[in-house]
């Protein structure tokens, strides 16, 4: 499964949101699974969107055939668009499905990992971070994905309330990072917390 992460800064909110409704045509595209996202809590005007496709081949066919027509409605409404593609590695919580309808909060972490530490980082995600996140109240599901060959990883988790996620962070993150040796693995990490916009879910 291919995970597409899009981030941009909106300069015309009304126009952007109107154009966002045009993406309702995505379910007719071969290989499309789901798309959703919302507004950053920490960066005014910043939007994050996440799309899921069955494979890179289906995604490439969509980009060549239909993307520009759907995207035209949002021309001029945003700037600084950044797009990254990742390949699914494993679930953060068992039974991952790419759906957004029951989530009201997303958490994204983008990690650049030292090349010789990439497999250790993935192992620690599976053995240390995943059980902690899966056991946290309010955590619905998540996905761990990798961009090759840059040793970049994406961790996307979906939550049913901000308060529950805050409890997880406050209590456990520092201890978990020490146990997972995150400091030795990671060259750079960025992240954000996103308030879902239900009307953008496709």
State the burial class of residue 20 (Cβ atoms within 10 Å of its Cβ: 0-12, 13-18, 19+): buried
Q: Is the pLDDT of residue 163 over 80?
A: no
Choose among 49, 128, 123, 138: nearest CA to 89.
123
pLDDT digits (tens, 9 = 90+) for 16-44: 999 999 999 999 999 999 999 999 999 99
DSSP 18: H
Where are the strands (E) in the chain, listed by range?
2-10, 32-40, 46-53, 78-91, 105-113, 139-147, 152-159, 186-196
Query: Which residues have CB under 8 Å from 23's CB, separation 6+?
Result: 35, 70, 200, 202
- pLDDT given at position 144: 95
In angstroms, rounded to a whole number, what is the distance separating the alpha carbons of residues 35 and 52? 6
- The full set of domains in the chain, from first to last, is 2-197 (3.30.70.100)
In angstroms, rounded to a whole number, what is the distance separating the alpha carbons of residues 32 and 26? 7
pLDDT digits (tens, 9 = 90+) for 77-126: 999 999 999 999 999 988 899 999 999 999 999 999 998 999 999 999 88
φ, ψ (nearest 5 deg) of residue 95: 80, 35
Residues 182, 151 contacting (CB under 8 angstroms) = no
Mean pLDDT of 168-195: 82
- pLDDT given at position 43: 96
Q: How far is CA 5 from CA 20, 81, 87, 131, 147, in A?
A: 15, 10, 11, 24, 11
Mean pLDDT of 145-172: 80
State the burial class of residue 98 (Cβ atoms within 10 Å of its Cβ: 0-12, 13-18, 19+): buried
Choose among 167, 142, 161: nearest CA to 153.
142
pLDDT digits (tens, 9 = 90+) for 49-89: 999 999 999 999 999 999 999 999 999 999 999 999 999 99
- pLDDT given at position 95: 84
DSSP 59-78: HHHHHHHTHHHHHGGGTTSE
- pLDDT level of residue 182 (50, 70, 90 thresholds): confident
Q: What is the pTM of this model?
A: 0.92
- pLDDT given at position 169: 65
Q: Is the pLDDT of residue 173 over 80?
A: no
Where are the strands (E) in 66-177, listed by range?
78-91, 105-113, 139-147, 152-159
């Amino acid at each position: 499964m291919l995970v597409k992460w899009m981030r941009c800064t909106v300069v015309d909110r009304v126009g952007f949101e109107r154009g966002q409704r045009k993406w309702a045509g995505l379910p007719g595209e071969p290989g499309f699974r789901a798309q959703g996202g919302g507004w950053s809590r920490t960066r005014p005007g910043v939007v994050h969107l996440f799309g899921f496709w069955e494979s890179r081949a289906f995604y490439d066919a969509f980009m060549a055939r239909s993307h520009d027509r759907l995207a035209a409605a949002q021309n001029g409404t945003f700037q600084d668009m950044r797009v990254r593609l990742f390949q699914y590695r494993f679930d953060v919580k068992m039974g991952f499905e790419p759906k957004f309808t029951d989530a009201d909060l997303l958490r994204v972490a983008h990690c650049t990992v030292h090349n010789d530490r990439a497999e250790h980082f993935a192992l620690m995600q599976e053995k240390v971070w995943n059980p902690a996140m899966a056991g946290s109240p309010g955590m619905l599901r998540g996905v761990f994905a990798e961009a090759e060959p840059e040793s970049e990883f994406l961790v996307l988790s979906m939550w049913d309330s901000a308060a529950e996620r805050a409890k997880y962070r406050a209590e456990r993150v520092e201890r978990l990072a020490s146990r997972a040796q995150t400091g030795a693995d990671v060259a750079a990490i960025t992240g954000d917390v996103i308030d879902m916009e239900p009307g953008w879910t496709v």
